[in-house]
Amino acid sequence: MLHTLTATLEDSPGVLDRVAALFRRRAFNIHSLTVSPGEGHGLSRMTVTVDADETGVRRVVASLGKLIQVRGVTRHGQRAVMRDLALARVKATESQRPQVLQIAHIFHAQIVDLDLESLVLECTGSRDKLDRFIALLEPFGLLELARSGVVAMAQTPQPSPFDLYA
């Protein structure tokens, strides 16, 4: 099962490597990983989606919380805002373009680039929404695809029972 975690990390060399090593040692497959500047000076925010069972994810959360460079870990459940972004270059000849644009409209995707034979569409949403969007574009000829990975935050500012503060 996929679980999404967010960690606040010190922004220093080697921290991401130590965190990735923790997942590697436990043989967990990282489904998605995003890292960006965090809320404070010298901090980064890491969101990772990992394929693990309940026991495994609890161990990872506990282990992450023990790393000196980790300031906090949040395990996101149902009450979280999670988004992924996809850029898809799809073949769209003159005859195909209306159908591709209809799919884009349904999924609230934006056209960010185009030429005579293709369109680049930007779509944001849940992982499932993007999977459906991409599946509908594939029959037209998906020429290139880039996904950002999941970013997440709690819906409410209250900490969950799974939060650890270092």
Q: Are residues 106 and 74 in the same domain?
A: no
Q: Are residues 56 and 16 in the same domain?
A: yes
Please tell me the predicted confidence (pLDDT) of residue 147.
97
Q: Is 111 within 8 Å of 121 (Cβ atoms)?
A: yes
Q: Are residues 75 and 86 in the same domain?
A: no
How much is the pTM?
Answer: 0.79
The H-or-E segment that residue 42 falls in is none
Tokens of residue 155, six digits: 């819906």
Q: Is 157's pLDDT higher than 80? A: no
Q: Are residues 141 and 161 in the same domain?
A: no
pLDDT digits (tens, 9 = 90+) for 39-93: 888 999 999 999 989 999 999 999 898 888 899 999 998 788 999 999 999 999 9
Please tell me the predicted confidence (pLDDT) of residue 116.
92
Q: Are residues 26 and 40 in the same domain?
A: yes
Q: Are residues 68 and 86 in the same domain?
A: no
Structurally, how many domains does the chain consist of?
Answer: 2
Q: Are residues 68 and 90 in the same domain?
A: no
Tokens of residue 2, six digits: 């996929």
- The domain that holds 56 is classified in CATH as 3.30.70.260
Q: Are residues 115 and 64 in the same domain?
A: no
Q: Are residues 61 and 93 in the same domain?
A: no
Kindly give, in sequence order, each residue whose CB lies less than 8 Å from that of residue 140, ignoring residues fewer than 6 positions away: 90, 91, 92, 96, 99, 100
Tokens of residue 153, six digits: 């935050």
Task: Read off the pLDDT of each residue in 18-40 and give the average, rounded to a whole number.
Answer: 88
Q: Are residues 95 and 13 in the same domain?
A: no
Q: Are residues 43 and 59 in the same domain?
A: yes
Q: Are residues 8 and 55 in the same domain?
A: yes
- The domain that holds 120 is classified in CATH as 3.30.70.1150
pLDDT digits (tens, 9 = 90+) for 107-140: 999 999 999 999 999 999 999 999 999 999 999 9
The label of the residue with tokens 């680049």 reads: 120
Show the domain range for 116.
82-147
